[in-house]
Structure 1
Amino acid sequence: MDVSFTLWMLTIAGLCILVGADFFIGRKPHDVSVKEAGTWTVVWIALAALFGLGLLLTGNGQASQEFFAGFVTEKSLSVDNLFVFVLIMAKFSVPSHLQQRVLLVGVLIALVLRAVFIAAGAAIVTSFSWVFYLFGAFLVYTAWKLIQEARAGDEEEWEEDRLLRSVERKFGVADRYHGTKLFIRDNGKRVLTPLMVVMLAIGTTDVLFALDSIPAIFGLTQDPYIVFTANAFALMGLRQLYFLLGGLLKKLVHLSYGLSVILGFIGVKLVLHALHESGVHVPQISTPLSLGVICAVLVVTTITSLAASKKQAAKEAAAESARESVEA
């Protein structure tokens, strides 16, 4: 897709306006209701759909298909990232009315980081076609790792990285939250508040998230404009999705399996593309097929997850009832 400098600037300006509106709406810390989260989740998804349809109506059918494939993939990976956000919020005991501020800043950090990664990735892909082999191998490895973690079934636990611990030691951390303040004066010394530490934690994990998502979307399209817009629209509704899903996240027990299938599929697609670029006659996986596979995997994963969670809840209820009968 041939994108002019003017269109790039208009797109970035439009996205900045949307982010600014999101910040304005959530500027006052408050507990986000399911109704509010659901309404804004629908709004963000509708805006993404309108953007994709806009590409189609302007005669860019291929770009539209690539956008929707990338958007769905990035959105599904974002849901997996929410598990880590839940762990970080629990680790630092973030008050419920401050969680939306943490997520908003986290999304802003993620957008900036993704823009940098996308620019670097586009430059590398343009100059070195063999990098698709590396991207493909990395995604297949990530898919295998997800399966291993899912089969292990261990309770996830988030731990602070070395960088975050060094920042805490250098600046010091207050013993409690002080509203939306990021720094306070404690005995004449400027120290971080726990809210600032949480935001830094979200920001550093965003770097790890980008390592999975950027190669994945480059496996669906090599157009930097589509890669950037698909990432932006997927991330901007992440804050509301966090509050909407809530306890449902724990019920998506098969999500890791579904994501591993998607990442493995895209990894194979990348390797086939790299072989094709090298002059080897191999079958190519089309964008409509990719979108169909991704959507089908997510639908099946969601259905089986909810069924498994319901079955497990019934077993636990039966076991609890049996224990009460014995005690009685």
Structure 2
Amino acid sequence: MDVSVTLWVVTILGLSALIAIDFFIGRKPHDVSVKEAGIWTVVWIVLAALFGLGLLVFGGSQASGEFFAGYITEKSLSVDNLFVFVLIMAKFAVPSHLQQRVLLVGVVIALVLRTIFIAAGAAIIASFSWVFYIFGAFLIYTAWKLIQEARKDEEEDDWEENRLLKSIEKKFGVADRYHDTKLFIRVNGKRVLTPLMVVMLAIGTTDILFALDSIPAIFGLTQDPYIVFTANAFALMGLRQLYFLIGGLLKKLVHLSYGLSVILGFIGVKLVLHALHESGVHVPEISIPFSLAFIGGVLVITTITSLIASKKQEKLEQQEKQKPQEAEKSDRTPKADIEA
């Protein structure tokens, strides 16, 4: 897809305007209700759909199909990010009314960092086509690691700060408590970070780790930097509302890691086939419509099986809780009743 500088500028300004509107609406710290989160989740999905339809009209079915495939992939991978975001919020004991501000700024930081990754990835791909082999192998390896982690009985119940975050905290210092929405305060004449600023940086910089698999994944669906950027932008910008909407449902998506591993493995194979094709080897290539159908199908199946498994687990837990109660009632039964 041939994208002019003007279109790039208009797109970036448009996305910046949407972020500004989002910030303006949620500028006052407050607890986000499920209703509010649901409305804005739908709004962001509709905006993404309208953008995809715009690509269909002005860019053709190929561009539109690549955008929707990339958007769905990035959206599904970003849901996995929410597990870590929950851990970070708990680690820093973020007050509930400040969480929406943390996520908004954290997501903006993540988007800026991902833009740098996308630009670097596009430049590498343009110069070295063999990099698809590396991307493909990495995604297949990541898929295998996801399966291994999903099969572990132990659940991750903690989160460790990365080196960048630790060095920032050491250099500037951190206040001992939250000061509403302030990012910096002065303590004994020295300017220090507030915990709010630290957790914002934590959300943004931690996303770099997720970008290591999500960026190669979307490049496996399209090599157009414009589509890669916009798909990532729309997927990330709706992440804040999704956090509040499905926060309570995250633990029920027990098969999500399996679904994501299948998707990453599939895209990894697609990348390897594409690399072979670019090298002159006659191999079948996987089309975008098939990729879109496959990714959507995996996510639907994963969601259904997760909810079924969670329901069964809840039923078993209820039965286990009832056993001691029934045993206690049996012990309290009067002797006379038993003899009678």
Q: TM-score range by the shorter chain?
A: over 0.9
Map 1:142-221 → 2, pairs under 5 A: 142-156=142-156, 157-221=158-222
Corresponding residue for 1:102? 102
Distance 2:2 2:162 in 1: 41
Counterpart in 2 of 1:120?
Answer: 120
Q: Which residue of 2 aligns with 1:234?
A: 235
Q: Which amino acid aligns with 2:89?
A: M
- The match for 2:56 is 56
- d(CA) in 1 for partners of 2:131 and 2:186? 49
SS at match of 2:191: strand
Which residue does the alignment assign to 1:305? 306
Deviation at 1:4, TM superposition (A): 1.0
For 1:19-75, what per-residue CA distance to the aligned partner results, in whole angstroms no more than 9, with x for missing partners?
111111111100000000000000000000001111112251100000000000000
Q: For residues 171 and 327 of structure 1, do their structure 2 counterparts lie closer, same or farther at Cα, with a shift above 3 Å needed?
A: farther
Amino acid at match of 2:208: V
Output the CA distance in 2 between the equivalents of 1:163 and 1:226.
30
The 3-state SS of whatever aligns with 1:309 is helix
Match of residue 261 from structure 1 = 262
- Give secondary structure in 2 for the equivalent of 1:152: coil
> Secondary structure in 2 aligned to 1:231?
helix
Structure 2: give runs of 5+ residues left out of the alignment.
330-340
SS in 2 for 1:3: coil
**Structure 1 SS opposite 2:151:** helix
**What is the aligned residue count?**
328
Name the residue aligned to 2:335.
none
- Residue aligned with 1:246, SS: helix
Give the aligned partner of residue 79 of structure 1: 79
Q: Matches of 1:320 and 1:33 in 2, distance apart?
A: 31
Q: CA RMSD in A?
A: 0.9
Name the structure 2 match of 1:251.
Answer: 252
Taking the aligned partners of 1:59 and 1:233, their CA distance within structure 2 comes to 18
What is the TM-score when the length of structure 1 is the normalising length?
0.98
How many Å separate the matches in 1 of 2:259 and 2:121?
A: 25
Find the aligned partners of 1:223 and 1:204 in 2 and give their Cα distance: 25
CA offset at residue 82 of structure 1? 0.5
User: Cα distance, 1:109 vs. partner?
Assistant: 0.6
Secondary structure of 2:32's partner?
Answer: coil
CA contact (8 A) 2:220 2:271 kept: yes
Q: 2:6, 2:174 → 1: CA distance?
A: 45
Residue identity matched to 2:162: D
Q: Is the 8 A contact 2:110 2:207 kept in 1?
A: yes
Question: Max radius of gyration: which structure?
Answer: 2
2:133 match = 133
**Within 2, Cα distance between the matches of 1:236 and 1:27?**
16
Q: Deviations over 1:201-249 (max 9, x none)?
A: 1122011111111100000000011101111111110000000002100
Residue 224 (structure 1) aligns with: 225
Alpha-carbon separation, structure 1, partners of 2:154 and 2:177: 31
Q: What is the CA-CA distance between 1:14 and the residue it aligns to? A: 0.8
Paired residue type of 1:171:
F
User: SS at the partner of 1:56?
Assistant: helix
- Could you tell me the TM-score, scaled by structure 2's length? 0.95
SS at match of 1:58: helix
Structure 1: give runs of 5+ residues left out of the alignment. Answer: none
The aligned residue for residue 31 of structure 2 is: 31
C-alpha contact 2:109 2:205 (8 A) present in aligned 1? no
Letter matched to residue 133 of structure 2: Y
Aligned-pair distance for 1:171?
2.1
Amino acid at match of 1:10: V
| Structure 1 runs, 4 residues or longer, greater than 6 Å off | none
Task: State the alpha-carbon separation in 1 of the partners of residues 4 and 193 from structure 2.
Answer: 43
Shift of 1:189: 2.1
Residue 93 (structure 2) aligns with? 93
Q: Write the distance in 1 (CA, Å) between the matches of 2:13 and 2:190.
A: 39
Provide closer, same or farther for how the CA distance between residues 59 and 112 of structure 1 changes in structure 2, counting only shifts above 3 A: closer
- Which amino acid in structure 2 is aligned with residue 170 of structure 1? K
Structure 1 counterpart SS, 2:109: helix
Deviation at 1:166, TM superposition (A): 2.6
Give the direction of change, closer, same or farther, for the CA distance of 1:93–1:59 in structure 2 (3 Å limit).
closer
Letter in 1 for 2:210: F
Distance 1:105 1:43, change over 3 A: same
SS in 2 for 1:43: helix
Q: Which residue of 1 aligns with 2:338?
A: none
1:284 paired residue number: 285
Shift of 1:174: 1.3
- The percentage of counterpart residues that share the same residue type is 81
Aligned to 1:19: 19
1:52 maps to amino acid:
G
Map Cα deviations across residues 102-158 of structure 1 (whole Å, 9 max, x no partner). Answer: 100111111111111111111111110000000001101110110000001321121
Contact 2:108-2:204 within 8 A present in 1 as well: no
C-alpha separation between the residues in 2 aligned to 1:160 and 1:6?
A: 40
